Amino acid sequence: PMSGVACSVRLQSHFQTNSIGYGSTYQAHPMAASMSIEVLDRMQEEKVLENVIFIEGILRRHMTELSKLSLFKNEFRLHGAFGCMDIQLTDDGEENEGLIECFTDRMRHHGVIHMFRPPLFHIAPPLNCTEEELDDAFEKIHRVANDTVARYSGEWRWRSYE
């Protein structure tokens, strides 16, 4: 682990003479600094930033398609390789618990690792993923979203996608 604080020059100058008595265990630790340099070197060698820029467009395309489904609101947030969509449907005012439980169960069934902070669905693929991997993941998410809506509208039928 490595820690750091980013702030404006004005704010930094204030804390040069007004300590708040807060530090970090990892701040300036030689091993952490050495490992951080290696991570940055590897990120450059493997062109991670370039891939993030590339996959942002792919994520935008897929998230635009998902936002057309009735499960999600028709807007989303995306920056680089991190996106977030809002679940639209409600579960009788219970913060979408049943709906989200159904969606997450189906996601697990299809092998998609996911994160929710109800009603927010976070999308954060590995920074080194490929277009094919994203296409595969979003195909599964799309199917799961449609199945979830069908289940909640009383039209649920088990379907195998293997």
Chain-wide mean pLDDT for the chain? 83
Look at residue 160 in the predicted model and tell me its pLDDT.
Answer: 42
More confident residue, 83 or 20: 83
CA distance linking residue 104 with residue 94, whole number of Å:
16
More confident residue, 132 or 16: 132
Look at residue 144 in the predicted model and tell me its pLDDT.
Answer: 92
* pTM of this structure: 0.73
CA distance linking residue 67 with residue 140, whole number of Å:
15
**Residue 69 confidence (pLDDT) above 60:** yes
pLDDT confidence band for 90 (50 / 70 / 90): low
Mean of pLDDT values over 89-111: 73
**Following CA atoms 124, 126, 131, 135 in sequence, which dihedral angle do they give, to the nearest 10 degrees?**
-50
In the chain, the percentage of residues whose pLDDT exceeds 90 is 41
Mean of pLDDT values over 63-85: 93
More confident residue, 106 or 155: 106
**Residue 46 confidence (pLDDT) above 80:** yes
Half-sphere exposure of 154 (CA within 13 A, CB side): 0
Look at residue 159 in the predicted model and tell me its pLDDT.
Answer: 43
**Residue 96 confidence (pLDDT) above 70:** no
CA distance linking residue 128 with residue 126, whole number of Å:
5
The distance of Cα 71 from the centroid of its chain, to the nearest Å, equals 18
Look at residue 42 in the predicted model and tell me its pLDDT.
Answer: 96
